[in-house]
Amino acid sequence: MPEQLNTRVEDCFQLAESFFKRPFKRPVVSLKLRGQKAGVAHLHENLLRFNPQLYRENTEHFLKQTVAHEVAHLIAHQLFGDRIQPHGEEWQLIMRGVYELPPDRCHTYEVKRRRVTRYIYKCPCADSDFPFTAQRHSLVRQGRRYLCRRCRHTLVFSGEMRVE
């Protein structure tokens, strides 16, 4: 676990404790998050998960904004309970008042998409390319049939594949 990340989480909790004049339970912090999300706060488990790739690629902003964003969710939950909106006024109060940061809902980090293979299926209709996922292609190989919505003929694998 990168030390800077743990330090920033602790700093955010100390700022909240100073602001609200009360202690807050510390979470478990994990770098086991993949995909498009930069961070996730699991309120009932008191767990913070962060995306290590986005952390590495955007360290300065990530530490400042993303960590505070996720900690603010836990603080809001501990203060106000379950009946608040995730990015509602209570959370925004914490972002603005405690951390003096904009209450941005989403990050703007560039996320590298993984490449996927599409299997091209066709029917007798003109210009009929149907790109299937690997999962759907596998189902066809197991016997499932898919029909063209226009001509109602069974779609047939053309032998072509496309990487996107």
d(CA 54, CA 107): 10
- Residue 157 CA to residue 142 CA, distance in Å, equals 13
Task: Provide the annotated active-site residues.
Answer: 70
C-alpha distance from residue 77 to each of 21, 27, 42, 68, 145 (Å)? 16, 12, 10, 14, 48
Residue 77 annotated as part of some ligand binding site = no
Side-chain-side CA neighbours of residue 14 (13 Å): 6
Give the count of alpha carbons within 13 A of 97, CB side only.
14
Would you say 137 is a known binding-site residue?
no
Strands lying side by side in the sheet with 28-30: 28-30, 47-50, 39-42
Q: Two tokens at 90? A: 């209570």
Binding residues for Zn(2+): 69, 73
Binding residues: 69, 73
